[in-house]
């Protein structure tokens, strides 16, 4: 009995030491970051073997001085694209959407255009050639369809990786059409309940408005996202750190799911192209683990987002890799997000902030935290 108590005490002590070490690493990563970029508020969530911890820094609003907590809602920008990818994979594994079919097969307004030769897979892997941003003059679906019908690519689909809000917007429209619902209905009525994400929204309801952080741009001007064409599909999700950590657990296979949704998650982790330093999955980007900080920063650099990169198809596609770091950045004018996880190690981190600041800094902070999580196991 004494031996058992001694072992239990030693185990508890080791766990406490590990927790203290992780908190020290999180503080060391976030506090200088917050000071350097003048970030009002940051929420960090970590997952280790499905166990979670959350760390909060600063305020959700400089006007009200409300402290960041587990209920604070952040805009997560392009991390939204991974949600759209999951819906598309769900439709594909249900036999309702074909990745090899033309985009115009599902978006009828584009039939007879160049999109007869752009596949659904091209949309989900940023290899359609479409540019990043919706043109400023385009404010509704009719104008978007007219612009798309007139658009001509600089190179054939599948040859260049060009990061694109428009491409993912079309992917979402194709997936929703195949499922017979709108994007918002598919997300809020199907995906989020299936994943147990109860504080995640495409439109924040009045009852949750008080938890919605105020964002700030690089000049400290208050900013929140305005509705726009393809916002639901490409950058419109608002969520909390606990919900986003649960999303990482879903992706790491640590949350029980219906078989159809598990197949959809696996589908998003397939590698379809290599581009620059990473493998392009279905929206997600992956690197062999372990990976150097320099490689990870190059893959999340402005050049990787704003400039075309040669894309090389993987034939056959790469099966989901457990020994990989899978990541995604997300930005709006007033918010910055980074998520990264390593399925084989069952470790993941999310960093949510209510100010725009560089990807390089986010990646560096998350990398330090992931290293600490890996060492704590």
* Angstrom distance (rounded) from CA 79 to CA 179: 22
SS3 361: helix
Give the number of other Cβ atoms within 10 Å of residue 193's Cβ: 11
Q: Which long-range contacts (CB under 8 A, 24 or more apart) does 138-141 make?
A: 138/229, 139/228, 139/229, 140/229, 141/229
In a domain, 103, yes or no: yes
In a domain, 158, yes or no: yes
Could you tell me which of 263, 258, 317 has the C-alpha nearest to residue 286? 317
What's the Cα-to-Cα distance from 272 to each of 30, 119, 122, 169, rounded to whole Å?
34, 13, 10, 19
Query: Contact, 73 vs 204, CB < 8 A?
Result: yes
> Residue 16: what pLDDT?
56
What's the Cα-to-Cα distance from 166 to each of 206, 222, 259, rounded to whole Å?
29, 26, 30
> Residue 135: what pLDDT?
97
In a domain, 9, yes or no: no
In a domain, 229, yes or no: yes
> Residue 46: what pLDDT?
98
- Any bridge partners for residue 355, and if so which? 216
In a domain, 5, yes or no: no
How many domains, the chain? 1
Residue 151 domain boundaries: 20-376
* Angstrom distance (rounded) from CA 204 to CA 198: 12
Q: For this structure, is 163 an active site residue?
A: yes
In a domain, 347, yes or no: yes
Query: pTM for the full model?
Result: 0.95
Q: For this structure, is 78 an active site residue?
A: yes
> Residue 320: what pLDDT?
98
Tens-digit pLDDT profile for residues 194-219: 999 999 999 999 999 999 999 999 99
Tens-digit pLDDT profile for residues 65-74: 999 999 999 9
- Those residues of the chain that have pLDDT short of 50 are 7-14, 17
From the list 47, 78, 119, 178, the catalytic residue is 78
In a domain, 362, yes or no: yes
Angle (deg, nearest 10), helices 2-37 and 359-376 = 170
SS3 61: coil
**What CATH number is associated with residue 49?**
3.40.710.10
In a domain, 366, yes or no: yes
> Residue 2: what pLDDT?
53
From the list 163, 212, 273, 338, the catalytic residue is 163
């Amino acid at each position: 009995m004494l031996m058992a108590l001694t072992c239990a005490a030693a185990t508890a002590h080791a766990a406490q030491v590990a927790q203290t070490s992780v908190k020290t690493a999180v503080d060391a990563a976030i506090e200088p970051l917050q000071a350097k970029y003048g970030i009002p508020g940051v929420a960090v969530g970590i997952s280790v073997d499905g166990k979670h911890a959350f760390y909060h820094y600063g305020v959700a609003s400089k006007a009200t001085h409300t402290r960041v907590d587990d209920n604070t809602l952040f805009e997560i920008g392009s991390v939204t694209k991974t949600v759209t990818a999951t819906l598309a994979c769900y439709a594909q594994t249900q036999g309702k959407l074909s990745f090899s079919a033309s985009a115009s097969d599902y978006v009828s307004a584009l039939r007879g255009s160049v999109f007869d030769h752009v596949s659904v897979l091209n949309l989900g892997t940023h290899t359609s050639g479409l540019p990043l941003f919706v043109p400023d003059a385009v404010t509704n679906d009719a104008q978007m369809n007219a612009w798309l019908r007139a658009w001509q690519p600089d190179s054939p689909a599948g040859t260049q990786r060009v990061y694109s809000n428009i491409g993912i917007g079309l992917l979402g429209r194709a997936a929703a059409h195949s499922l017979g619902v709108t994007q918002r209905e598919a997300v809020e009525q199907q995906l989020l309940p299936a994943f147990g994400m109860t504080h995640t929204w495409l439109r924040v309801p009045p009852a949750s408005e008080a938890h919605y952080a105020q964002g700030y741009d690089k000049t400290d001007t208050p900013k929140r996202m305005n509705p726009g064409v393809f916002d639901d599909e490409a950058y419109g999700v608002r969520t909390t750190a606990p919900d986003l950590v649960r999303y990482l657990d879903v992706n790491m296979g640590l949350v029980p799911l219906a078989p159809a949704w598990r197949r959809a998650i696996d589908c998003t982790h397939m590698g379809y192209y290599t581009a620059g330093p990473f493998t392009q999955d279905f929206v997600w980007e992956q690197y062999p683990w372990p990976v150097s900080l320099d490689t990870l920063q190059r893959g999340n650099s402005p050049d990787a987002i704003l400039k075309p990169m040669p894309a090389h198809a993987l034939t056959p596609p790469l099966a989901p890799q457990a020994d990989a770091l899978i990541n995604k950045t997300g930005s709006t004018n007033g918010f910055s997000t980074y998520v990264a996880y390593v399925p084989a190690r069952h470790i993941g981190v999310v960093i949510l902030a209510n100010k725009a600041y560089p990807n390089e800094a986010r990646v560096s902070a998350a990398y330090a935290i992931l290293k600490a999580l890996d060492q704590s196991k």
